[in-house]
Structure 1
Amino acid sequence: MKSLVAAAALLFVPAAAMAQATPAQAPAAAPAAAADPIANIYDKALGAGWENMSSAKTELSADIGSAHMPIRVEAQGYQALYLHHAPFSAAPYRGISMLIQAVGGEAEVRVVGIVNGKPIPNGARVGADGQPEPRMKVVKVVPGGWTKVQIPFDQLGIGEGTTIDGFWVQNNKSEPAPHLYVADIMLDR
């Protein structure tokens, strides 16, 4: 009889007591942080606030049979893909990354940071044209696939306190570059 009373008592245990015996469920995942609109410069299309001000002939979202939908760039001597944004602080970012592909030959491009519409000067260095030489990272691109480019801002002369407003991906030679494709351009944190 005692066992029957004990079994019946279990049936009448309050729900709150039973809940304590079951393991707690994991809290719902927090919503993902909003994407940084400035950091996404180009991903199949220009990011919010970015505009194409190139001196080179360009085609956005070029269909080359690739999921990347890159920017096609036809650059004569020293012409550039120039992506511009209203001035913003470089403080939260540490660099820039992108994919570049050359078709029809080897290419050499320079990546340059832009402040107040002008390249960041490389100290007192002056080019053959008498203009200040820009701080830059030169990248060699060979045909046969995408070249991953990651450039820390210090290589471009961009410090934490710098307010920047764009980037060039520029043909580094006086003769025309082979066809270039540039994709997945992002500011790195």
Structure 2
Amino acid sequence: MSVSRRLFLAALGVAGVAGGSLARAGDLPQPLVAFDDELKNGFQNWSWAKTQLSVPAGNGKAIRVEGDPWSALVLHHEPFSTEGYTKLTFVINGGKDGGQALTIRAMAGGKAIDANYAIQPKAKTWAVVEVPLKDLNAAGKTIEGISLQAQGDPYSAYYIARIQFE
């Protein structure tokens, strides 16, 4: 991670990243970045929520997401293996209201893999989220991306940045 990225995350109040690096050491693969200021590495926005890509957030850019019941942020990619990766990480902020009930799922075969990993981002607070791929039933599998899907209520905007597989 660049010095400017670490400083950006530190300025947002994300603990534990200012001096560290998200890169892997040794013979493990480098992170597969889906979004870092913009979509990367062939990921595409296939969302069925209202999204704005590359919204200014501190010294970097995030994805702004809001929507209707059951809408989702979906980042699609040509099928790829998760072999060598153990988790999905991202930085998220619940916006002015927070509390959005979001279910995180990996996508394969054109649909979500059944898993029940849920989060509720806090209002006006940036936080690092690490989701073990085994909890998404995606460890060692070929997937086509990820989704963060809302539940049965409309929701106010949240912001998400630095999305990657590690």
Normalising by structure 2, we get a TM-score of 0.78
Q: 2: distance between equivalents of 1:178 and 1:148?
A: 20
Q: 2: distance between equivalents of 1:179 and 1:159?
A: 30
Counterpart of 2:122 in structure 1 is 142
Superposed displacement of residue 63, structure 1: 1.8
Counterpart of 2:111 in structure 1 is 118
Superposed displacement of residue 68, structure 1: 2.9
Q: 2: distance between equivalents of 1:73 and 1:144?
A: 14
Counterpart of 1:49 in structure 2 is 42
| SS state at 1:63 partner | strand
Question: Does residue 81 of structure 2 align to residue 89 of structure 1?
Answer: yes
Q: How many residues align?
A: 138
Deviation per residue, 1:110-133 (Å, 9 max, x gap): 11000111111xxxxxxxxxxxxx
Stretch deviating more after TM superposition (42-51 or 98-107): 98-107
* RMSD of Structure 2 on Structure 1 (CA): 1.7
Q: Where does structure 2 lack aligned partners over 5 or more consecutive residues?
A: 1-26
Question: Does residue 87 of structure 2 align to residue 109 of structure 1?
Answer: no
Counterpart of 1:78 in structure 2 is 70
Counterpart of 1:166 in structure 2 is 145
The structure with more radius of gyration: 1
Letter of the structure 2 residue corresponding to residue 163 of structure 1: T
Q: 1: distance between equivalents of 2:136 and 2:107?
A: 9
Using the aligned pairs only, state the percent identity.
28
Normalising by structure 1, we get a TM-score of 0.69
Superposed displacement of residue 169, structure 1: 1.2
Q: More strand per residue: 1 or 2?
A: 2
Question: Does residue 150 of structure 2 align to residue 175 of structure 1?
Answer: no
Counterpart of 2:24 in structure 1 is none
Whether the aligned pair in 2 keeps the contact of 1:90 and 1:159 (CA below 8 Å) is yes
Out of 42, 51, 60, the residue aligned to residue 68 of structure 1 is: 60
Q: 2: distance between equivalents of 1:40 and 1:67?
A: 18
Q: Where does structure 1 lack aligned partners over 5 or more consecutive residues?
A: 1-32, 121-133
Deviation per residue, 1:50-103 (Å, 9 max, x gap): 100000010100124x12300000121111000000001110211100011112
